[in-house]
Each structure stands twice: as C-alpha cells, then as structure tokens.
Amino acid sequence: MEELDIKIKRVKEMRKLSSVNRWELMLYSAGTPIDLDISADFITVPGTSELRVQLGAHYTCLRAQIVRKLLDYVIEVSFDVKEIGGKADITDSEMLIDPEVLALMLSVGVGALRGMVALRTEGSVLEKHPVPVLRIRDLITKVSGSSEASLPEIHFHSER
C-alpha cells in the first residue's frame, strides 16, 4: 500500500446521541447476558474534503422478557481526506473512498470508540464487557459492493 496522508481533525463524544440508563444498570443481575451492537454511519460535508464517521456502542440486556437499553454511546471521528491522491473521488455531492482507506479510517474510529467506552464504563457492570477488537477488513469486504452509506450493525453476545 502506498503512503497516504489522512488527517484526523477531531474525535468527539456525541452527547445528544448518547444515553445511559442508570435504573436498568442498577437492576442488572450479574450473569445475565449483555448484548452489544456496533453501528457506523458515514457523513460527508458538502463542499469540503471532510468525512465524518459516527460510531456507536449500544448495550442491551434481557430482563423479564423485554430488551432493556443499558447504554448508547456514540462518537464522531472527522477526517480530512483531500490528500489521499487516487484513493478517493470527491465531488460536492458524494465521496467515493477506496475500501483499504476506509478500513484504515474505521480501525482508527473503532480504536477511539473502544477507549472512550472503557473510560465511560469504568466502575460499572459494563466494565467487564468492553468493545471487542474487530477485523475491519472483513467487514469492508462484506459491504464493499453495497451502495449503503453505513455498515450493518454488528452484534456481540457476552455472558460474563
């Protein structure tokens, strides 16, 4: 792979899209399985070379036959992609990015999400259920032929 110049402009917590259900966390019974869904959405900013990736970690559990939300945590990673040469085709209305570059961006984003979730869940029951290490290239391969602007949700089941 040739050398690329991708700049991370910022990483921020999306407080309006994030929520913690303290009541459900308090009622959580140890040993009850916790499910984790990972979401990713790609947002272009028209007229710029900025690409934003919103990544979310969504924790739920089953109590009394009802799925209960424990935590929704969303971050946004902004990249400046104008200096990646032939690896991107940028117009005012769309941005087409090489799957290898996209995998690199998602890897950075998921790493940031893992760290930020670890900080937010420290001392809670979710501390034992971190965002797992993902093989981003496998996910990109599955959706590289898709016209969707986001990856499908990724689901994990944890029994700790």
What are the structure tokens assigned to 103, written together? 């995998």
Do the domain assignments include residue 2?
no
**Number of domains the chain contains:** 1
Task: Give me the pLDDT at residue 155, please.
Answer: 47
Do the domain assignments include residue 87?
yes
- Provide the Cα torsion 5, 51, 9, 13; round to 10°: -140
Do the domain assignments include residue 25?
yes
Q: Give the range of the structural domain holding residue 153, as residue numbers without chain letter.
A: 7-158
Q: Which residue numbers in the chain have pLDDT < 50?
A: 149, 152, 155, 157-160
**113 Cα distance to chain centroid:** 6
- CATH number, domain with residue 97: 3.10.420.10
Do the domain assignments include residue 1?
no
Taking the whole predicted model, whether its pTM rises above 0.75 is answered as yes
Do the domain assignments include residue 100?
yes
For residue 102, the tally of other CB atoms under 10 A from its CB is 24
CB of 105 closer than 8 Å to CB of 6:
yes
Task: Give me the pLDDT at residue 64, please.
Answer: 87
